Amino acid sequence: MRRLLLSVFLAMSAQGETGRVEIVVRDAVTGQALPGVPVTLTLKPFGEPNGPSSTVVTDPRGVALFSGLANGTYAPSVTEPYRAASTPGFLLIDPGERQRVDVRVQRLSTVSVRVLDPEATPVHDAVVRLANMGYVDGRRVLTTGLQLVRDSGSDVFRVPRVLPGRGRA
What is the tens place of the pLDDT at every residue in 33-50? 999 999 999 999 888 888
Residue numbers of the domain that contains 133: 109-168
**Same domain, yes or no, for 22 and 91?**
yes
Q: What is the pTM of this model?
A: 0.64
Average confidence score pLDDT of the chain = 79
Counting the structural domains of the chain, the total is 2
Per-residue pLDDT for 6 more than 70?
A: no
**Taking residues 7-15, what's their average pLDDT?**
42
Residue 101 contacts residue 91 (beta carbons within 8 Å) = yes
**Same domain, yes or no, for 132 and 162?**
yes
Q: Which residues contact 139 (CB under 8 A, 6 or more apart)?
A: none
What residues pair up with 81 in beta bridges, in sequence order?
none
**Same domain, yes or no, for 25 and 66?**
yes
Classify residue 7: in a domain, yes or no. no
Classify residue 33: in a domain, yes or no. yes
**Same domain, yes or no, for 42 and 118?**
no
**Same domain, yes or no, for 132 and 101?**
no
| Range list of β-strands (E), 36-122 | 38-43, 53-57, 63-69, 72-78, 82-86, 91-93, 98-107, 109-114
**Same domain, yes or no, for 22 and 103?**
yes
How many CB atoms within 10 Å of residue 55? 14
